Amino acid sequence: MFVSLFSNLTGFVPNASFLTSRDMSAQSLEEYLKDVPDQLGEPRNEPNYFRPGVQSTYAARSVLLDAGMDLSIPTSAGERGLLVVLGGLLSTPWQESSIELFAKAGWTVIQIDPEISIRKPNEDAYRRVKAEQSAWTVDQHKARSQRYKQAEGPNDPKIFLRDDKNLDRADFDLLVTLNKEANERFKLPPTGFELTADTDPEELGRTIAEAIDNTLAENAYAVAAAVEYFIDTHGSDAVGPIAVLGYSAGSFAAPAVAARLLAEGHAVDAMILIGAGADIFEISQTSVLANVAFNLTPVRGPEPSQERIDEAHSAYLKHTRLDPYALAPALADIPAFLMIADDDTFVPNGELLDQRLQRPHRVRYFGGHGGLFYFLPMQTPRMIRWLDGIVAARCPD
Protein backbone atom coordinates (compact mmCIF):
# COMPACT_ATOMS: atom_id res chain seq x y z
CA MET A 1 0.00 0.00 0.00
CA PHE A 2 2.66 2.50 1.02
CA VAL A 3 4.81 1.62 -1.99
CA SER A 4 1.93 2.61 -4.26
CA LEU A 5 1.66 5.96 -2.47
CA PHE A 6 5.18 6.76 -3.63
CA SER A 7 4.99 5.38 -7.15
CA ASN A 8 4.74 7.46 -10.30
CA LEU A 9 5.39 10.82 -8.68
CA THR A 10 5.60 13.00 -11.76
CA GLY A 11 8.91 14.77 -12.05
CA PHE A 12 10.53 13.16 -9.01
CA VAL A 13 13.76 11.29 -9.54
CA PRO A 14 14.86 9.54 -6.33
CA ASN A 15 18.61 9.80 -5.98
CA ALA A 16 18.96 9.21 -2.26
CA SER A 17 21.88 6.80 -2.61
CA PHE A 18 24.26 9.38 -1.19
CA LEU A 19 22.13 10.97 1.50
CA THR A 20 20.28 13.52 -0.53
CA SER A 21 17.12 13.24 -2.55
CA ARG A 22 16.99 16.76 -3.91
CA ASP A 23 17.40 16.34 -7.65
CA MET A 24 18.46 19.48 -9.49
CA SER A 25 16.71 21.39 -12.20
CA ALA A 26 18.76 22.07 -15.29
CA GLN A 27 19.28 25.72 -14.35
CA SER A 28 20.32 24.90 -10.79
CA LEU A 29 22.67 22.16 -11.92
CA GLU A 30 24.17 24.43 -14.58
CA GLU A 31 24.91 27.10 -11.97
CA TYR A 32 26.49 24.62 -9.56
CA LEU A 33 28.61 22.94 -12.18
CA LYS A 34 30.27 26.27 -12.96
CA ASP A 35 31.68 26.12 -9.46
CA VAL A 36 32.86 22.49 -9.47
CA PRO A 37 36.63 22.01 -9.86
CA ASP A 38 37.89 19.56 -12.43
CA GLN A 39 40.09 17.57 -10.07
CA LEU A 40 39.29 15.86 -6.81
CA GLY A 41 40.12 18.00 -3.80
CA GLU A 42 40.72 21.27 -5.63
CA PRO A 43 39.14 24.39 -4.08
CA ARG A 44 35.96 25.84 -5.43
CA ASN A 45 36.08 28.17 -8.38
CA GLU A 46 34.15 30.75 -6.34
CA PRO A 47 33.86 31.16 -2.55
CA ASN A 48 30.60 29.84 -1.15
CA TYR A 49 29.18 32.89 0.63
CA PHE A 50 25.86 31.22 1.40
CA ARG A 51 27.44 28.27 3.18
CA PRO A 52 30.76 29.53 4.53
CA GLY A 53 31.57 26.15 6.07
CA VAL A 54 31.57 24.46 2.68
CA GLN A 55 34.47 26.03 0.81
CA SER A 56 35.70 23.03 -1.14
CA THR A 57 34.04 20.39 -3.21
CA TYR A 58 35.22 17.07 -4.53
CA ALA A 59 33.91 16.94 -8.08
CA ALA A 60 31.27 14.64 -9.55
CA ARG A 61 28.52 13.74 -7.08
CA SER A 62 29.57 16.06 -4.29
CA VAL A 63 27.94 19.04 -5.95
CA LEU A 64 24.60 17.37 -5.28
CA LEU A 65 25.54 16.79 -1.66
CA ASP A 66 26.20 20.48 -1.29
CA ALA A 67 22.80 21.30 -2.74
CA GLY A 68 20.94 18.52 -0.98
CA MET A 69 19.31 18.40 2.42
CA ASP A 70 21.18 18.90 5.66
CA LEU A 71 21.23 15.74 7.78
CA SER A 72 22.67 15.07 11.19
CA ILE A 73 23.45 11.38 11.69
CA PRO A 74 24.78 10.26 15.09
CA THR A 75 28.01 8.33 15.35
CA SER A 76 26.68 5.95 18.01
CA ALA A 77 23.39 4.32 18.90
CA GLY A 78 21.28 5.18 21.93
CA GLU A 79 19.55 2.65 24.13
CA ARG A 80 15.90 3.64 23.56
CA GLY A 81 15.56 3.51 19.79
CA LEU A 82 15.83 5.65 16.68
CA LEU A 83 14.09 9.03 16.55
CA VAL A 84 13.83 10.71 13.14
CA VAL A 85 13.42 14.47 13.66
CA LEU A 86 12.21 16.93 11.02
CA GLY A 87 12.75 20.49 12.20
CA GLY A 88 10.63 23.56 11.64
CA LEU A 89 11.05 26.28 9.07
CA LEU A 90 13.32 28.18 11.46
CA SER A 91 15.29 26.55 14.24
CA THR A 92 14.53 27.98 17.68
CA PRO A 93 16.24 27.50 21.04
CA TRP A 94 13.08 25.81 22.33
CA GLN A 95 13.03 23.30 19.48
CA GLU A 96 16.71 22.53 19.94
CA SER A 97 16.24 22.13 23.70
CA SER A 98 13.38 19.71 23.03
CA ILE A 99 15.50 17.63 20.64
CA GLU A 100 18.36 17.61 23.14
CA LEU A 101 16.04 16.24 25.84
CA PHE A 102 15.09 13.32 23.58
CA ALA A 103 18.78 12.60 22.99
CA LYS A 104 19.56 12.77 26.71
CA ALA A 105 16.71 10.32 27.34
CA GLY A 106 18.58 7.75 25.25
CA TRP A 107 17.04 8.19 21.79
CA THR A 108 19.31 8.06 18.77
CA VAL A 109 18.40 11.24 16.89
CA ILE A 110 18.66 11.52 13.11
CA GLN A 111 17.83 15.12 12.36
CA ILE A 112 16.96 16.57 8.97
CA ASP A 113 16.50 20.17 7.94
CA PRO A 114 13.49 19.51 5.72
CA GLU A 115 13.06 20.88 2.24
CA ILE A 116 9.84 22.88 2.06
CA SER A 117 10.17 24.79 -1.22
CA ILE A 118 7.67 23.78 -3.89
CA ARG A 119 9.10 23.39 -7.39
CA LYS A 120 7.38 25.44 -10.03
CA PRO A 121 6.27 23.78 -13.28
CA ASN A 122 8.61 26.13 -15.18
CA GLU A 123 11.37 26.08 -12.58
CA ASP A 124 14.25 26.53 -15.03
CA ALA A 125 12.84 29.68 -16.67
CA TYR A 126 11.92 31.12 -13.29
CA ARG A 127 15.38 30.42 -11.83
CA ARG A 128 17.09 32.02 -14.80
CA VAL A 129 15.25 35.29 -14.34
CA LYS A 130 15.75 35.20 -10.56
CA ALA A 131 19.48 34.67 -11.17
CA GLU A 132 19.53 37.66 -13.51
CA GLN A 133 17.76 39.77 -10.91
CA SER A 134 20.15 38.68 -8.19
CA ALA A 135 23.30 39.24 -10.26
CA TRP A 136 22.16 42.72 -11.34
CA THR A 137 21.23 43.66 -7.76
CA VAL A 138 24.60 42.52 -6.40
CA ASP A 139 26.53 44.41 -9.10
CA GLN A 140 24.52 47.57 -8.54
CA HIS A 141 24.85 47.32 -4.78
CA LYS A 142 28.61 47.02 -5.04
CA ALA A 143 28.74 49.96 -7.44
CA ARG A 144 26.47 52.28 -5.44
CA SER A 145 27.26 51.29 -1.85
CA GLN A 146 30.23 52.46 0.22
CA ARG A 147 30.32 49.05 1.86
CA TYR A 148 32.87 47.40 -0.44
CA LYS A 149 36.50 47.83 -1.35
CA GLN A 150 38.79 45.90 -3.67
CA ALA A 151 40.83 43.16 -2.00
CA GLU A 152 44.60 43.06 -2.21
CA GLY A 153 45.01 40.41 -4.90
CA PRO A 154 43.96 41.19 -8.49
CA ASN A 155 41.84 38.04 -8.65
CA ASP A 156 40.33 38.28 -5.17
CA PRO A 157 36.62 39.09 -4.85
CA LYS A 158 35.42 42.32 -3.36
CA ILE A 159 35.08 42.16 0.41
CA PHE A 160 33.15 43.96 3.10
CA LEU A 161 34.56 47.36 4.02
CA ARG A 162 33.50 46.98 7.65
CA ASP A 163 33.95 43.97 9.88
CA ASP A 164 30.30 43.84 10.95
CA LYS A 165 27.89 42.05 8.67
CA ASN A 166 24.74 43.91 9.65
CA LEU A 167 23.23 46.19 7.04
CA ASP A 168 22.82 49.78 8.14
CA ARG A 169 19.70 51.74 7.19
CA ALA A 170 21.22 53.23 4.05
CA ASP A 171 22.27 49.81 2.77
CA PHE A 172 18.87 48.36 3.57
CA ASP A 173 17.03 51.16 1.75
CA LEU A 174 19.36 50.79 -1.21
CA LEU A 175 18.70 47.05 -1.43
CA VAL A 176 14.95 47.60 -1.31
CA THR A 177 15.24 50.08 -4.16
CA LEU A 178 17.49 47.80 -6.19
CA ASN A 179 15.18 44.83 -5.73
CA LYS A 180 12.27 46.86 -7.07
CA GLU A 181 14.35 47.98 -10.04
CA ALA A 182 15.46 44.41 -10.71
CA ASN A 183 11.84 43.22 -10.70
CA GLU A 184 11.03 45.85 -13.32
CA ARG A 185 14.09 45.17 -15.49
CA PHE A 186 13.79 41.37 -15.42
CA LYS A 187 10.16 40.31 -15.49
CA LEU A 188 9.56 36.98 -13.79
CA PRO A 189 7.59 34.49 -15.85
CA PRO A 190 4.41 32.98 -14.39
CA THR A 191 5.21 30.27 -11.85
CA GLY A 192 2.69 27.84 -13.28
CA PHE A 193 0.52 28.01 -10.14
CA GLU A 194 -1.49 31.07 -11.14
CA LEU A 195 -5.24 30.71 -11.42
CA THR A 196 -5.99 32.88 -14.45
CA ALA A 197 -9.24 33.23 -16.34
CA ASP A 198 -7.97 30.61 -18.81
CA THR A 199 -6.75 28.11 -16.19
CA ASP A 200 -8.61 24.87 -15.65
CA PRO A 201 -9.01 24.66 -11.83
CA GLU A 202 -9.08 20.86 -11.96
CA GLU A 203 -5.76 20.72 -13.80
CA LEU A 204 -4.21 23.34 -11.53
CA GLY A 205 -5.25 21.37 -8.45
CA ARG A 206 -3.58 18.30 -9.93
CA THR A 207 -0.42 20.31 -10.73
CA ILE A 208 -0.17 21.68 -7.20
CA ALA A 209 -0.77 18.23 -5.72
CA GLU A 210 2.06 16.75 -7.77
CA ALA A 211 4.42 19.60 -6.83
CA ILE A 212 3.70 19.29 -3.10
CA ASP A 213 3.83 15.48 -3.21
CA ASN A 214 7.24 15.67 -4.87
CA THR A 215 8.62 17.90 -2.11
CA LEU A 216 7.21 15.67 0.63
CA ALA A 217 8.60 12.60 -1.12
CA GLU A 218 12.04 14.17 -1.39
CA ASN A 219 12.14 14.53 2.39
CA ALA A 220 10.95 10.97 2.81
CA TYR A 221 13.60 9.53 0.49
CA ALA A 222 16.33 11.56 2.21
CA VAL A 223 15.32 10.20 5.62
CA ALA A 224 15.12 6.67 4.26
CA ALA A 225 18.66 7.04 2.93
CA ALA A 226 19.86 8.32 6.30
CA VAL A 227 18.25 5.39 8.12
CA GLU A 228 19.78 2.91 5.69
CA TYR A 229 23.17 4.56 6.16
CA PHE A 230 22.83 4.28 9.94
CA ILE A 231 21.88 0.60 9.64
CA ASP A 232 24.80 -0.09 7.29
CA THR A 233 27.14 1.63 9.74
CA HIS A 234 25.88 0.26 13.06
CA GLY A 235 23.87 -2.84 12.14
CA SER A 236 20.13 -3.45 12.28
CA ASP A 237 20.26 -4.42 15.96
CA ALA A 238 21.36 -0.88 16.84
CA VAL A 239 18.17 0.66 15.50
CA GLY A 240 15.51 -0.66 17.86
CA PRO A 241 12.08 1.00 17.83
CA ILE A 242 11.62 3.83 15.32
CA ALA A 243 9.65 7.01 15.96
CA VAL A 244 9.12 10.04 13.70
CA LEU A 245 8.98 13.54 15.17
CA GLY A 246 7.96 16.62 13.19
CA TYR A 247 8.10 20.22 14.37
CA SER A 248 5.86 22.78 12.62
CA ALA A 249 6.72 22.73 8.88
CA GLY A 250 8.65 19.50 9.45
CA SER A 251 5.41 17.87 10.55
CA PHE A 252 4.02 18.27 7.01
CA ALA A 253 6.59 15.73 5.80
CA ALA A 254 6.55 13.48 8.87
CA PRO A 255 3.62 11.28 7.70
CA ALA A 256 5.31 10.82 4.31
CA VAL A 257 8.52 9.85 6.11
CA ALA A 258 6.65 7.29 8.19
CA ALA A 259 4.95 5.90 5.08
CA ARG A 260 8.28 5.64 3.23
CA LEU A 261 9.98 3.84 6.11
CA LEU A 262 7.08 1.39 6.27
CA ALA A 263 7.31 0.87 2.51
CA GLU A 264 10.98 -0.05 2.93
CA GLY A 265 10.21 -2.60 5.61
CA HIS A 266 10.97 -0.60 8.77
CA ALA A 267 8.45 -0.73 11.58
CA VAL A 268 7.37 2.74 12.70
CA ASP A 269 6.24 2.58 16.30
CA ALA A 270 5.08 6.15 16.92
CA MET A 271 4.70 9.66 15.51
CA ILE A 272 4.90 12.97 17.35
CA LEU A 273 3.56 15.99 15.47
CA ILE A 274 4.00 19.45 16.99
CA GLY A 275 2.34 22.57 15.62
CA ALA A 276 1.05 20.40 12.81
CA GLY A 277 -1.77 20.52 10.32
CA ALA A 278 -3.27 18.89 7.26
CA ASP A 279 -4.21 20.13 3.78
CA ILE A 280 -1.18 22.16 2.73
CA PHE A 281 -3.21 23.88 0.01
CA GLU A 282 -5.59 25.34 2.58
CA ILE A 283 -2.76 26.19 4.97
CA SER A 284 -0.89 28.03 2.23
CA GLN A 285 -3.90 30.26 1.62
CA THR A 286 -5.00 30.91 5.24
CA SER A 287 -1.73 31.06 7.18
CA VAL A 288 -0.15 34.40 8.08
CA LEU A 289 2.60 33.12 5.77
CA ALA A 290 0.04 32.97 2.95
CA ASN A 291 1.35 32.52 -0.59
CA VAL A 292 4.83 31.51 0.57
CA ALA A 293 4.49 28.05 -0.97
CA PHE A 294 2.61 29.19 -4.06
CA ASN A 295 0.53 32.16 -5.11
CA LEU A 296 -2.66 31.66 -7.09
CA THR A 297 -2.96 35.33 -8.03
CA PRO A 298 -1.55 36.04 -11.52
CA VAL A 299 1.41 38.39 -11.76
CA ARG A 300 -0.59 40.45 -14.24
CA GLY A 301 -4.32 40.08 -14.01
CA PRO A 302 -7.25 40.03 -11.59
CA GLU A 303 -7.40 37.91 -8.46
CA PRO A 304 -9.23 34.60 -8.96
CA SER A 305 -12.72 34.25 -7.55
CA GLN A 306 -13.24 32.22 -4.40
CA GLU A 307 -15.38 29.78 -6.37
CA ARG A 308 -12.50 28.96 -8.74
CA ILE A 309 -10.07 28.70 -5.80
CA ASP A 310 -12.46 26.24 -4.15
CA GLU A 311 -12.57 24.16 -7.35
CA ALA A 312 -8.76 23.99 -7.47
CA HIS A 313 -8.69 23.15 -3.78
CA SER A 314 -11.13 20.26 -4.22
CA ALA A 315 -9.04 18.94 -7.12
CA TYR A 316 -5.93 19.16 -4.93
CA LEU A 317 -7.50 17.06 -2.17
CA LYS A 318 -8.63 14.54 -4.78
CA HIS A 319 -5.16 14.13 -6.31
CA THR A 320 -2.69 14.52 -3.45
CA ARG A 321 -1.31 11.30 -2.00
CA LEU A 322 1.32 12.49 0.46
CA ASP A 323 -0.29 15.50 2.11
CA PRO A 324 -0.98 14.70 5.80
CA TYR A 325 -4.66 15.01 4.84
CA ALA A 326 -4.32 12.00 2.53
CA LEU A 327 -1.88 9.94 4.58
CA ALA A 328 -3.30 10.35 8.09
CA PRO A 329 -6.13 7.78 7.70
CA ALA A 330 -3.66 5.23 6.29
CA LEU A 331 -1.35 5.78 9.28
CA ALA A 332 -4.06 5.80 11.93
CA ASP A 333 -2.81 2.48 13.37
CA ILE A 334 0.49 4.12 14.34
CA PRO A 335 0.19 5.70 17.81
CA ALA A 336 0.42 9.47 17.40
CA PHE A 337 1.00 12.34 19.81
CA LEU A 338 -0.42 15.57 18.42
CA MET A 339 0.35 18.94 20.00
CA ILE A 340 -1.57 21.86 18.47
CA ALA A 341 -2.48 25.42 19.42
CA ASP A 342 -6.03 26.74 19.46
CA ASP A 343 -5.01 30.10 18.00
CA ASP A 344 -2.32 28.95 15.57
CA THR A 345 -2.15 31.46 12.73
CA PHE A 346 0.96 29.87 11.18
CA VAL A 347 -0.49 26.34 10.83
CA PRO A 348 -4.23 26.87 11.24
CA ASN A 349 -5.41 23.36 10.35
CA GLY A 350 -4.39 21.37 13.42
CA GLU A 351 -7.99 20.42 14.15
CA LEU A 352 -8.35 18.89 10.68
CA LEU A 353 -5.26 16.72 11.23
CA ASP A 354 -6.69 15.71 14.60
CA GLN A 355 -9.82 14.48 12.83
CA ARG A 356 -7.94 12.72 10.03
CA LEU A 357 -5.75 10.87 12.55
CA GLN A 358 -8.95 9.75 14.29
CA ARG A 359 -8.35 11.69 17.48
CA PRO A 360 -4.90 10.54 18.61
CA HIS A 361 -3.31 11.33 21.98
CA ARG A 362 -3.23 15.11 21.88
CA VAL A 363 -2.34 18.21 23.82
CA ARG A 364 -4.11 21.47 23.00
CA TYR A 365 -2.39 24.74 23.84
CA PHE A 366 -4.65 27.75 24.37
CA GLY A 367 -2.28 30.21 22.66
CA GLY A 368 -0.61 30.47 19.29
CA HIS A 369 2.22 28.84 17.35
CA GLY A 370 5.00 30.82 19.04
CA GLY A 371 3.73 30.12 22.54
CA LEU A 372 3.41 26.43 21.77
CA PHE A 373 7.10 26.32 20.88
CA TYR A 374 8.09 28.46 23.85
CA PHE A 375 6.70 25.81 26.20
CA LEU A 376 8.23 22.89 24.29
CA PRO A 377 11.10 22.19 26.76
CA MET A 378 8.54 21.89 29.56
CA GLN A 379 6.27 19.62 27.52
CA THR A 380 9.01 17.36 26.11
CA PRO A 381 9.35 15.13 29.23
CA ARG A 382 5.65 14.40 28.83
CA MET A 383 6.24 13.34 25.21
CA ILE A 384 9.18 11.17 26.25
CA ARG A 385 7.08 9.39 28.88
CA TRP A 386 4.32 8.83 26.32
CA LEU A 387 6.82 7.52 23.78
CA ASP A 388 8.40 5.19 26.34
CA GLY A 389 4.97 3.81 27.18
CA ILE A 390 4.11 3.22 23.53
CA VAL A 391 7.41 1.46 22.87
CA ALA A 392 7.06 -0.70 25.98
CA ALA A 393 3.58 -1.80 24.87
CA ARG A 394 4.51 -2.42 21.23
CA CYS A 395 7.99 -3.82 21.82
CA PRO A 396 7.78 -5.68 25.17
CA ASP A 397 11.16 -7.35 24.64
Closest CA to 98 of 286, 349, 358, 374: 374
Helices (H), the chain: 2-6, 26-33, 62-67, 93-104, 123-144, 169-185, 201-234, 249-263, 280-286, 306-319, 324-327, 350-356, 369-374, 376-394
Element (H, E) at 340: strand 336-341
Q: Judging by DSSP bridges, how do beta strands 159-160 and 148-149 pair with one another?
A: antiparallel
Closest CA to 387 of 262, 273, 257, 229: 273
What CA–CA distance (Å, rounded) separates 34 from 206?
Answer: 35
Closest CA to 7 of 255, 210, 192: 210
pLDDT the model gives residue 389: 92
Centre a 10 Å sphere on the Cβ of residue 225 and count the other Cβ atoms it contains: 21
**DSSP symbol at 361:** E
Intra-chain end-to-end CA distance of the chain, in Å: 28
* Per-residue model confidence as pLDDT tens for the chain (397 residues): 444 444 444 333 443 333 333 444 555 556 655 655 555 455 555 554 444 444 444 344 444 444 556 777 787 887 889 999 998 887 788 999 999 999 999 999 998 888 888 888 887 788 889 889 988 988 888 787 766 555 445 555 544 444 444 556 777 788 888 989 998 999 888 888 999 989 999 999 999 999 999 889 888 988 888 898 888 888 888 888 999 999 998 999 999 999 999 988 899 999 999 999 999 999 988 887 766 678 888 877 788 999 999 999 999 999 999 999 999 999 989 999 999 888 888 888 788 999 899 888 888 888 888 888 888 999 999 999 999 999 887 666 6
Closest CA to 48 of 58, 57, 38: 57
- Asked if residues 80 and 240 have their Cβ atoms less than 8 Å apart, the reply is yes
Residue type, 6: F
pLDDT the model gives residue 262: 92
What CA–CA distance (Å, rounded) separates 352 from 60?
Answer: 45
pLDDT the model gives residue 78: 79
User: The pTM is what?
Assistant: 0.76
Domains for the chain: give ranges and CATH numbers. Answer: 24-67 (no CATH), 70-117+193-394 (3.40.50.1820), 123-185 (no CATH)
pLDDT the model gives residue 123: 79
